Chain A
Amino acid sequence: MSVVRPYGDTTGDGRVQVSFTLPVPFGTETERAVAEGAALQLAAKMGLDPAMVVHAKGMGPSFTFFVVYGRVSHVVDLSLVKVEEREYPVLSGAEVNLRIRSSLGRKLVVVGACIGTDAHTVGIDAILNVKGHAGEKGLEYYREIRVVNMGSQVAVPDLVARAAAERADAVLVSQVVTQRDAHLNNTREMARAFGAAFGGARPLLIVGGPRFDPSAAVDLGVDRIFGRGTTPGDVASYLVHVLAPGDIPDAGPAGPTGSEEDVA
């Protein structure tokens, strides 16, 4: 069946539950009536018809929280669902470690830095530090990844030298400052320097930052660009995809927290 509706307790009943807050008071009798009416109006505009406010509660003098049940009038056409394919599957920490062990047989070496005058290590630290970002541990936490974090304001020649000395598999560079296109110029300069020093055998070059266009990798001479919202797990999965290819384990859904438990 290609067309479905939400399921409450009977096929096709379309029943859903939503909760939301409106910036309206819930004090006097009139205010309460207005608040509930406002919630029903929003529910109707969201396609809930009929809708029922089952809970309303004032929060402070000027907000009201609602729980609403209703029948949604929309249908979902499964044949129209488009799935954005990323070029690599997102793996759990344990899968990443396993792939590196079985495919490389040694630790994967990542050298990270903020180059140029950029002192914003927030992005690179969120990806590299154990502390990580949004509850996800950074690359340092992966047993099979060795991280060299050079910090901020690293000169490109120093980065190239360190990458050579550490035999880096990948170089991660973060660029936050975009004044006069500093992020683009710095990235191109870095790519040229690595090309000159390593030729075709250069490490994988990855840049990240909130203002990059993720599709500009080729233009900038790097392998991959990560934008806002990237997690350490995204980067680790990409590294493994390119540097430690292997059979993709039949990755049954690990669940939202499945990746965290057994990384070490």
Chain B
Amino acid sequence: MSKLNLDPVLVRQARDLARQAAEPVVEMARTHSTVSVERAVLRLAGLSGADDDGMPWVNRLVDAVREQTGLEHGVALPVFDALVTGGYPDLRTLAMDVAAGRVKFRLPAGTEALTAREAALRYDSAGIRRIDARRAERDRLLSEIGDPPKPWIYLIVATGDIHEDIPQAQAAAREGADIIAVIRSTGQSLLDYVPEGATREGYAGTYATQENFRLMRAALDETSRELGRYVRLTNYASGLCMPEIATLAGLERLDMMLNDCMYGIIFRDINPVRTFIDQRFSRQVHARAGIIINTGEDNYLTTADAVDAAHTVVVSQLLNERFGKEAGLADWQLGLGHAFEIDPAVPDSFLLELAHAQLVREIFPDAPLKYMPPTKHMSGNVFAGYLLDAFFNLCGMITDQSIILIGMMTEGIHTPFLSDRDLALENVRYVRSAAGRLGESFVPAADGFVASRAREVLGESIALLGRIVDQGLLNAIADGTFGVTRRPPTGGRGLEGVFERAPEYFNPAAEVLEA
């Protein structure tokens, strides 16, 4: 039932436009691949580790194949041909020989191609079965230990040192966090490789590595048992290595991943074509792993005005939904993002926030929406900030948001103190206990300010989607439609890692995932 008196025909129209806008980009992703997709194929086949310089073996192999035979047919055929014909016991041994210059790759044909194909499918199927097993393990733990009720409380740790992050994350969970997010080291999204091993040094965050994932998940499993509720773990896929990080997340049973179809383009100047291809494969892996994605629409509101740009959030959510569904994600896996970022000096700012939050709730009734607290207008006046966070929590409760990131009154001042976090949790506990059931009684007047504003934003979203369909999504991005930032399809990082698939292109992981 719509509390906002939304016309279901308009909502369907918006979805339909999003599908049309996405289609050419999906087609591009179906006909192209990237170095990171190919590296993910090798990771799924079980190749991990790095050479003495810290360069992952998957990078060494993909680079070598690219140099010798080209990648248009995919990395799998040449690599598994070399593995089989060279009699190597595993991919690591092959990679070491490649690094020593002892391997000559070729594109196999005939029965040799068939043999290589079968080997590749065997290896990647085994990797995907490992992901399946981790998903089954999560389901078992959720039913054994217990799944906390929504809204889930989401807290961040970010020391740069995984061995410091762990006790902090465990403490945060004991203090009430249902979800722990380990913020990544600044700039990791721009690395075209995934670092290896447990790391103790990061900039404003901790590197996303397979070993760090494993260590943190193991620690939270322990804490989950202690607390009698399963504490979810989140990390970040967006960036130049989306497909690989998604793979590692699936292998190490992460529960949620930041994965936005456009974040890297807009905020990290990663090439749009690269991003759209990478996000598709990464989401196919997330879909298989039972991971909930979190999208990054909150970021638009930190660059653009939160009132003027409200409809760009909805448009981006519809696009994220479309790309996600096309990649196989279910509604329950779409943690679409938005934020409470309207300038508190704007009259009726709370009513506007309510309108936007309720609109998103009604357009995506089954999605675990992720609601982000104020950051832009947290002024350093910690007392006013605490009040603003309370209003944010209240809006989240009234509009039934699913994942609530806890706002810190010291946002933008420093890494939260222990006491900042404790006060923030006290804030949300008070609002939840005092007004947690307010939603059922909150029915805005059909033609009142809140409902009218929501319908206005929906109308603006449809108009913008229409323009994007006419113009083409890549052109719209080039034009600065999202986040007030212009990103042409030929610009940005990582374009050199994109290639068109040959007609005989073979990707064993995609074959299994798309079967």
Interface residues of B in 444-493 (CB under 8 A from A): 483-485, 493
Q: CB-CB < 8 A to B422: which residues of A?
A: 57, 59, 65
By a CB distance below 8 angstroms, the chain B residues around A260 are: 376
Contacts of B88 in A (CB 8 A): none
**Is the CB of B343 closer than 8 A to any CB of chain A?**
yes
Q: Are A130 and B267 in contact (CB under 8 A)?
A: yes
Whether B133 sits at the interface, judged by CB under 8 Å, is no
Interface of chain A residues 32 through 77 with chain B (CB within 8 A): 57, 59-60, 63, 65
Docked pose: A261 CA to B484 CA in angstroms: 13
Report if B97 contacts A (CB, 8 A).
no
Contact with A along B362-388 (1 / 0, CB 8 A): 000000000000011111100000000
Q: Which label, helix, strand, loop or mixed, suits the secondary structure of the B interface?
A: loop
CA distance A57 to B421 in the complex (A): 13
Which among A20, A122, A135 is the interface contact of B412 at CB below 8 angstroms? A135
Q: CB distance A63 to B485 under 8 Å?
A: no
User: Which single member of B269, B418, B484 contacts A63 (CB below 8 Å)?
Assistant: B418
Q: Are A137 and B375 touching (Cβ within 8 A)?
A: no
Q: CA A5 – CA B289 in complex, angstroms?
A: 62
- Tell me the residues in window 208-264 of chain A with beta carbons closer than 8 Å to chain B beta carbons: 255-257, 260-261, 264
Determine if B419 and A126 form an interchain contact, defined as CB atoms under 8 angstroms apart.
Answer: no
B268–A141 CB distance below 8 A: no
Q: How far is the CA of A63 from the CA of B422 in the complex (A)?
A: 11
A109 to chain B, nearest CB (A): 16
Among the listed B187, B267, B303, B375, which residue makes an inter-chain contact with A121, where contact means beta carbons less than 8 Å apart?
Answer: B187
Q: A102 in the interface, Cβ–Cβ < 8 Å?
A: no
Cα distance A15–B174 in the bound complex, in angstroms: 36
Query: Are A256 and B419 in touch, CB under 8 angstroms?
Result: no
Asked if A255 and B268 make an inter-chain contact with CB atoms under 8 angstroms apart, the answer reads no
CA A261 to CA B303, docked complex, whole Å: 8
Cβ of B13 within 8 Å of any chain A Cβ, yes or no, is no
Q: Which residues of A sit under 8 angstroms from B376, Cβ to Cβ?
A: 135, 257, 260
- Complex Cα spacing A197 to B268, Å: 32
Answer yes or no: B266 CB below 8 A from chain A CBs.
yes
At the interface, yes or no: A169 with Cβ under 8 Å from chain B? Answer: no
Minimum CB–CB distance from A63 to chain B (whole Å) comes to 6
Contact A126 B418 (CB under 8 A): no
Do A129 and B269 touch across chains, with their CB atoms under 8 A apart?
yes
Q: Report the minimal beta-carbon distance from B406 to chain A, rounded to whole angstroms.
A: 15
Interface residue? A131 (CB, 8 A): yes
Is B417 engaged at the interface, CB distance under 8 Å to the other chain? yes
In the complex, A27 has a CB within 8 A of chain B: no
Of the residues B175, B203, B267, B419, contact of A131 by C-beta under 8 Å:
B267
In the assembled complex, the Cα of A264 lies from the Cα of B300 at a distance in Å of: 13
Contact A264 B304, beta carbon cutoff 8 Å = yes
Contact A59 B484 (CB under 8 A): no
Residues of A contacting B266 in the complex (Cβ-Cβ under 8 angstroms) = 130
> Min CB distance, A208 to chain B, in Å?
14
Q: How far is the CB of A217 from chain B (nearest CB, A)?
A: 24
Question: Is B190 close to A, CB under 8 A?
Answer: yes
Interface of chain B residues 221 through 275 with chain A (CB within 8 A): 266-269
**Are the C-beta atoms of B377 and A257 separated by less than 8 Å?**
yes
Q: Is the CB of B31 closer than 8 A to any CB of chain A?
A: no
Q: Is B171 an interface residue (CB 8 A)?
A: yes
Interface size bracket, A side:
20 to 34
Q: List, in ascending order, chain A residues with CB within 8 A of B267's CB.
A: 129-131
**Contact at B418–A257, with CB atoms within 8 Å?**
no
- Choose from A20, A57, A60 the contact partner of B175 (Cβ within 8 Å): A60
Task: List, in ascending order, chain A residues with CB within 8 A of B343's CB.
Answer: 261
Q: Which chain A residue has the least Cβ–Cβ distance from B376?
A: A260
| A195 contacts chain B at the CB level, 8 A cutoff | no
Q: In the assembly, what is the distance between CA of A171 and CA of B376, in Å?
A: 29
- In the complex, the chain B residue whose C-beta lies closest to that of A141 is B303
Chain B residues near A255 (CB-CB < 8 A): 379
**Chain A residues within an 8 Å CB radius of B485:** 130, 140-141
Enumerate chain B residues within 8 angstroms of A125, measured Cβ to Cβ. 186-187, 190
Say whether A21 contacts B417, CB under 8 Å.
yes
Residues of A within 8 A of B483 (CB): 130
Query: In the complex the two chains form, is B493's CB within 8 Å of A59's CB?
Result: no
**How far is the CB of B299 from the nearest CB of chain A, in Å?**
8
Q: Does A1 contact B (CB under 8 A)?
A: no
Task: For residue A260, give the distance in angstroms from its CB to the closest CB of chain B.
Answer: 6
Cα A60 to Cα B175 with chains together (Å): 7
- CA gap between A24 and B321 in the complex, in Å: 48
Residue in B190, B375, B376, B493 with the greatest tally of chain A CB atoms within 10 Å: B190
Smallest Cβ distance from A179 to chain B, in angstroms? 15
Within B274-305, the residues touching A (CB, 8 Å) are: 299, 302-305
Q: Are A19 and B303 in contact (CB under 8 A)?
A: no
- The reply to whether the CB of A81 lies closer than 8 angstroms to some CB of chain B is no
A129 lies within 8 A of B379 (CB): no
List which B180-210 residues lie within 8 A (CB) of chain A: 185-187, 190, 203
Q: Are A122 and B187 in contact (CB under 8 A)?
A: yes
Of the candidates A63, A151, A264, the one whose C-beta lies within 8 Å of that of B303 is: A264
A57 surroundings in chain B (CB, below 8 A): 422
- Complex-state Cα separation, A23 to B406, whole angstroms: 24
> What residues of chain A lie closer than 8 Å to B203, measured between beta carbons?
122
CA distance A131 to B190 in the complex (A): 13
Query: Is A135 a contact partner of B379 (Cβ separation < 8 A)?
Result: no
Is the C-beta of A201 less than 8 angstroms from some C-beta in chain B? no
Which residue in chain B gives the minimum CB-CB distance to A124? B187
The minimal Cβ–Cβ distance linking A213 to chain B, given in whole angstroms, is 21
Q: Evaluate contact between B190 and A121: CB separation under 8 angstroms.
A: yes
Q: Pick the residue among A133, A135, A140, A261 that contacts B269 (CB under 8 A).
A: A140
Of residues 310 through 347 on chain B, the ones whose CB sits less than 8 Å from some CB of chain A are 343
User: In the complex, what distance in Å separates the CA atom of A137 from the CA atom of B417?
Assistant: 24
Q: Are A60 and B174 in contact (CB under 8 A)?
A: yes
**Nearest Cβ distance between residue A190 and chain B, in whole angstroms?**
21
Residues of B within 8 A of A264 (CB): 303-304, 484
- Could you write out 11 A-B pairs with CB less than 8 Å apart? A21-B417, A60-B174, A65-B423, A122-B185, A125-B186, A126-B186, A130-B269, A133-B186, A141-B485, A257-B376, A260-B376
Known A-B contacts: A135-B411, A140-B269. Give 17 more (CB < 8 A). Answer: A21-B417, A21-B419, A57-B422, A60-B171, A60-B174, A122-B185, A122-B186, A122-B203, A125-B186, A125-B187, A129-B268, A131-B267, A133-B186, A135-B375, A135-B412, A141-B303, A151-B493
